[in-house]
């Protein structure tokens, strides 16, 4: 006789969700709470159980600068569309003036002159749509800078998922994931110098700290707006171990860039890039700035290291199939081309795990 009930398990993994999680984690180190918050809303969309008349999901990302808030929105877009540039990004610093509301919804019907095409048109919102993917992703960056009218506008979007733009056109947000990012309550506070906000304090009094931050957000953005947001996530400051992993991500991005150029641009040499642990620690030292998260690290890899490598390419010191070795010598980065078949000794000296 068959039993009356069959146990089911909501923690059973789904390949689609697992793949999205993996791809976001590859690009964004740590911040797992925020990744899971996105996945919670995404699952509802996959099941078709999102609430009609509301956006697919809304998120308030709070936290210090340079810790992955904007990067995660891009990582989500990359996971969804395979292209992180498909996000409709609204930078609120450019919208702090009252009249900039016309930039978002267009000029009023009575307006004579050049009609401004609204940023929040349906076409713009749905720029990432393909035959298979019918999801829109939009982000309000530095939301604390937004004018109160824009905050009111967003409240309406979250409440009704519809907005009337100029010429009486409607933009529907029912297929949209909407993000707001902000440093509210943090940019003003020097995290490392304020007695109440020392990093150790942030960890030990995490809950109290998060409550305080959310209260600041309620005060600044209105309790109604914060109340309507589905997921409110406080991003964590990055640890040194996480910065090491971020450096690995950035070095891999560099390798991808080289490979991409070699496969599409004639005359660009395809070469391998090896960086010793000592050189990585040196780069970390240059890029480690607790007040800026990983922003400075990106500058060191993306600008300084890349400028040196570019110089080697344009002076034709790198040939196809070379291996470029970046080492440390007398407290400076030293570049050498490794002879074919040579054992890269420098790589194995004092080797240690990047996770340590």
Ligand X SMILES: Nc1ncnc2c1ncn2[C@@H]1O[C@H](COP(=O)(O)OP(=O)(O)OP(=O)(O)O)[C@@H](O)[C@H]1O
- The interface with ligand X within residues 25-54 (CB under 6 A) comprises 28-31
Say whether 113 sits in a helix, a strand or coil. coil
Q: Among all chains, which residue has been given the structure tokens 């996530």?
A: 233
Minimum Å gap between C-beta 270 and Mg ion is 34
Under 8 Å between Cβ of 297 and 243: yes
Q: Residue 79, interface with ligand X (CB under 6 A)?
A: no
Question: Which residue is at the shortest CB distance from Mg ion?
Answer: 70
Residue placing its CB nearer to Mg ion in the complex, 27 or 175: 27
Minimum Å gap between C-beta 51 and Mg ion is 28
State CA 129 to chain mean position distance. Answer: 20
Residue placing its CB nearer to ligand X in the complex, 54 or 74: 74
State the number of binding residues for ligand X (CB under 6 A). 19
Residue placing its CB nearer to ligand X in the complex, 228 or 291: 291
DSSP readout, 229-295? -SEEEEPPPPPHHHHHHHHHHHHHHHHHHHHHHHHHSTTPPP-EEEE-HHHHHHHHHHH-BTTTBTH
Number of helices (H), then strands (E), belonging to the chain: the values are 14, 10
Under 8 Å between Cβ of 59 and 229: yes
Residue placing its CB nearer to ligand X in the complex, 219 or 295: 295
Question: Which among 1-9, 94-102, 114-122, 291-299 is the span making contact with ligand X, rule CB under 6 A?
Answer: 291-299
Two structure tokens written together for 243 = 């910065």
Q: Residue 183, interface with ligand X (CB under 6 A)?
A: yes
CA–CA separation, 72 vs 177, rounded Å?
13
Given Mg ion, ligand X, none, residue 208, with its beta carbon under 5 to 8 Å by kind, binds none
Give the residues lining the site for Mg ion (CB under 5 A). Answer: 69-70, 181
- The interface with ligand X within residues 107-166 (CB under 6 A) comprises none
DSSP readout, 42-94? HHHHHHT-SPTTS-SEEEEEE-STTSSHHHHHHHHHHHHHS-GGGSEEEEGGG
State CA 196 to chain mean position distance. Answer: 28
* Binder among 37, 50, 60, 69 for ligand X (CB under 6 A): 69
Cβ-based neighbours of 152, under 8 Å, separated by 6 or more:
none
Q: Among all chains, which residue has been given the structure tokens 């309790």?
A: 223
Minimum Å gap between C-beta 152 and Mg ion is 23
* Binder among 121, 136, 181, 276 for ligand X (CB under 6 A): 181
Q: Residue 57, interface with ligand X (CB under 6 A)?
A: no
Residue placing its CB nearer to Mg ion in the complex, 54 or 236: 236
Q: Among all chains, which residue has been given the structure tokens 């923690």?
A: 11
Given ligand X, Mg ion, none, residue 58, with its beta carbon under 5 to 8 Å by kind, binds none
Under 8 Å between Cβ of 24 and 72: yes
Given ligand X, Mg ion, none, residue 39, with its beta carbon under 5 to 8 Å by kind, binds none
Minimum Å gap between C-beta 73 and ligand X is 8
Q: Residue 71, interface with ligand X (CB under 6 A)?
A: yes
CA–CA separation, 30 vs 103, rounded Å?
35
Given Mg ion, ligand X, none, residue 322, with its beta carbon under 5 to 8 Å by kind, binds none
Question: Which among 8-16, 289-297, 311-319, 330-338 is the span making contact with ligand X, rule CB under 6 A?
Answer: 289-297
Minimum Å gap between C-beta 271 and ligand X is 23
Q: Residue 185, interface with ligand X (CB under 6 A)?
A: no
Contact residues toward ligand X (CB under 6 A) are 28-31, 65-71, 181, 183, 246, 249, 293-295, 298
């Amino acid at each position: 006789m068959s039993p009356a009930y069959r146990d089911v398990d909501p923690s059973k993994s789904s390949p689609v969700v697992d793949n999205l999680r993996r791809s976001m984690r590859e690009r964004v180190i740590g911040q797992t709470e925020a990744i899971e918050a996105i996945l919670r809303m995404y699952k509802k969309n996959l099941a078709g159980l999102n609430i009609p008349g509301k956006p697919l999901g809304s998120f308030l990302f709070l936290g210090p600068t340079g810790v992955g808030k904007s990067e995660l929105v891009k990582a989500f877009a990359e996971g969804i569309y395979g292209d992180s540039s498909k996000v409709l990004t609204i930078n609120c610093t450019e919208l702090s003036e009252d009249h900039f509301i016309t930039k978002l919804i267009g000029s009023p019907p009575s307006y004579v002159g050049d009609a401004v095409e609204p940023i929040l048109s349906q076409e713009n919102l749905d720029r990432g749509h393909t035959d298979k993917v019918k999801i829109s992703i939009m982000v309000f960056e530095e939301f604390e800078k937004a004018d109160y009218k824009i905050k009111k506008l967003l409240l309406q979007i979250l409440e009704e998922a519809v907005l009337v733009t100029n010429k009486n056109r409607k933009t529907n947000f029912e297929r949209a994931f909407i993000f707001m990012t902000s440093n509210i309550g943090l940019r003003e506070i020097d995290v490392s110098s304020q007695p109440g906000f020392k990093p150790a304090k942030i960890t030990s009094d995490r809950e109290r700290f998060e409550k305080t931050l959310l209260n600041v957000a309620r005060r600044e953005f209105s309790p109604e707006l914060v109340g309507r947001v589905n997921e409110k996530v406080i991003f964590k400051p990055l640890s040194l171990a996480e910065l090491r992993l971020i450096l690995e991500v950035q070095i891999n991005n560099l390798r991808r860039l080289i490979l991409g150029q070699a496969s599409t641009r004639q005359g660009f040499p395809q070469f391998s890039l090896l960086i010793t642990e000592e050189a990585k620690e040196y780069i970390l030292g240059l890029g480690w700035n607790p007040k800026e998260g990983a922003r400075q690290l990106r500058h060191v890899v993306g600008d300084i290291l890349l400028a040196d490598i570019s110089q080697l390419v344009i002076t034709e010191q790198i040939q196809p199939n070379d291996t470029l070795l970046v080492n440390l010598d007398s407290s400076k980065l030293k570049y050498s081309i490794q002879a074919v078949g040579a054992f890269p000794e420098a790589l194995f000296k004092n080797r240690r795990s990047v996770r340590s």
